[in-house]
Amino acid sequence: MLKAETLAIGTELVSGQSLDTNSQWLARELGAIGIPTLFHQTVCDQLEENVSALRIAAGRAGLVLLTGGLGPTRDDLTRDALAAYAGVPLREDPASLEAIRAMFARRNRPMADRNRVQALFPEGAEPLPNRVGTAPGIWMEHGGVAFACMPGIPSEMRVMFFEQVVPRLKARSWGTRSIVFRKINMFGRGESEIEAMSPDLTARDRVPEVGITAHQATISFRIRGEGDTPEEALAQTEPTAALIRERFGDLILGEGAEDLPEAVFAELRRTGATLATAESCTGGLVAQMITALVGVSPYFLGGVVSYANSAKAAFLDVPVEMLDAHGAVSPEVAEAMAAGARRRFGADLAISTTGVAGPTGGTPEKPVGLVYLGLATEAGTQSRRLEIGPEQPRDIIQHRAAKNALNWVRLALRERPGKD
């Protein structure tokens, strides 16, 4: 059976200045097509060490995936190391050189002479086009081992892996077993609460296997299905997924990458409702999470980041007397902000945030981590109080507040009928 090894190249990685996440990602993706990864190595930007690591990897794996060392600088030695390992010279590939030139031209930037080295390949190797960056990758087979060299930049590496490396694996009938991980995401309860509600699901040796993970207060079940085809692997997970959906109902946001923004977007599409935001302590994060999604513009009209009190008055019609009487962090102001945004944007719903994101600015009555949310709909306005905890760092308080705001929008939208 084919075994894989990853080789992450970079002095900044091996010295601990940066964290390599490419190896984990690649191992997971290889696992999904049935190729086990048995070793990872991380090595510095030194030719001798790279060649030695290649030799070790080739001695225990049939597929070696390298990341990094393909840039234009002197430190980028993957091309040289692979050529030295295989005992072949480097040759310039005219098509790759043209692609690099074209990429610079599209960006209206001069191509430095140094970038020319990115068109060099070990003799007998095949260039892997880089659709989203300048560094082409390398595919090479030598001594019965296949080597795939990809850029270290994760976004470029991922595109190249899916578009260039996986088809070459399949062409060799590698990676034909299908393993799917199905992730069902929830929001609104803690990890241990969810765990206590599901001992049957997480029991050892259960088929299919189910795990629980948590990321920024989103809790996920991960179901592992296996089969000869993706359909068969998926089918194995289906009864478990149905059980989870039934048991956790409204807590469920969606599957896979679907977190709160995606769940809100799905409800906006279903209902045809429009949304606006009025943010104080989250400073634009709620709007940014929504506008990160493709195609949301018919539903998201916009938002106000009313950081200064004067902006709360000028843009959202929050009465100055209310700000004076209750302070900006109050249920009254949260509701007035939401109502003002709803009216000014002409939206069906508006959500607001106002709170103490810290680490300073807390008082005994209004400690760091206290946040009020406001929701305005045609039925009126409401507010909610969150206590995220004074011990939490600013970014966690802002994220947690934003996610709770989105969750409230989601639950409010769920009560509305579909637009048809």
Residues 22-61 close enough to bind a second copy by CB under 8 A: 23-31, 36-44, 49, 52-53, 56, 60
CB of 370 to a second copy, least distance (A): 12
Q: Of 207, 235, 242, 314, which one interacts with a second copy (CB under 8 A)? A: 314
Q: Which residue lies nearer to a second copy by CB, 88 or 254?
A: 254
Task: Judge contact between 356 and 331, C-beta under 8 A.
Answer: no
Task: Judge contact between 67 and 22, C-beta under 8 A.
Answer: yes
Interface size with a second copy, residues (CB under 8 A): 112
CB of 363 to a second copy, least distance (A): 16
Task: Judge contact between 91 and 123, C-beta under 8 A.
Answer: yes
Q: Of 123, 162, 192, 414, which one interacts with a second copy (CB under 8 A)? A: 192
CB of 29 to a second copy, least distance (A): 8
Structure token pair of residue 137: 């990758």
Residue 1 binds to a second copy (criterion: CB under 8 A): no
CB of 159 to a second copy, least distance (A): 9
Would you tell me how many other CB atoms lie within 10 Å of the CB of residue 414?
12
Q: Of 87, 144, 346, 418, which one interacts with a second copy (CB under 8 A)? A: 346
* Closest to 156 in 3D by CA, of 167, 144, 169, 165: 165
Rounded to whole angstroms, the Cα distance separating 405 from 373 reads 6
Task: Judge contact between 258 and 183, C-beta under 8 A.
Answer: no
Structure token pair of residue 185: 């995401």
Q: Does residue 208 have a cis bond before it (omega within 30 degrees)?
A: yes
Q: Of 187, 345, 372, 408, which one interacts with a second copy (CB under 8 A)? A: 345
Task: Judge contact between 183 and 220, C-beta under 8 A.
Answer: yes
* Closest to 62 in 3D by CA, of 1, 125, 128, 150: 1
Residue 307 binds to a second copy (criterion: CB under 8 A): yes
The span of 68-76, 78-86, 265-273, 374-382 binding a second copy (CB under 8 A) equals: 68-76
Q: Which residue lies nearer to a second copy by CB, 144 or 204?
A: 204
Q: Of 148, 252, 301, 413, which one interacts with a second copy (CB under 8 A)? A: 301
Q: Does residue 154 have a cis bond before it (omega within 30 degrees)?
A: no
Residue 65 binds to a second copy (criterion: CB under 8 A): no
Q: Which of residues 217-276 bind a second copy (CB under 8 A)?
A: 222
CB of 305 to a second copy, least distance (A): 4
Task: Sort 89 into a burial class: Cβ within 10 Å, 0-12 / 13-18 / 19+.
Answer: exposed
Q: Which of residues 362-391 bind a second copy (CB under 8 A)?
A: 387-389, 391
> What mask of x and - would describe binding to a second copy in positions 137 to 156, judged by CB under 8 A?
----------------x-x-
> What mask of x and - would describe binding to a second copy in positions 95 to 114, judged by CB under 8 A?
-----------xxxxxxxxx
Q: Which residue lies nearer to a second copy by CB, 123 or 207?
A: 207
Q: Of 101, 126, 392, 411, which one interacts with a second copy (CB under 8 A)? A: 392
Residues 6+ apart with CB under 8 A from 116: 72, 92, 97, 100
Apex 104 CA angle, 103 and 105, nearest 5: 90
Task: Judge contact between 262 and 296, C-beta under 8 A.
Answer: no
Q: Which residue lies nearer to a second copy by CB, 72 or 141?
A: 72
Q: Which residue lies nearer to a second copy by CB, 88 or 311?
A: 311
CA 234 to chain CA centroid, nearest Å = 22
Residue 290 binds to a second copy (criterion: CB under 8 A): yes
Q: Which of residues 156-185 bind a second copy (CB under 8 A)?
A: 181
The span of 91-99, 137-145, 189-197, 371-379 binding a second copy (CB under 8 A) equals: 189-197
Alpha helices (runs of H) in 151-229, residue ranges in sequence order: 154-160, 166-171, 191-196, 199-202
Place of tokens 């990094």: 68
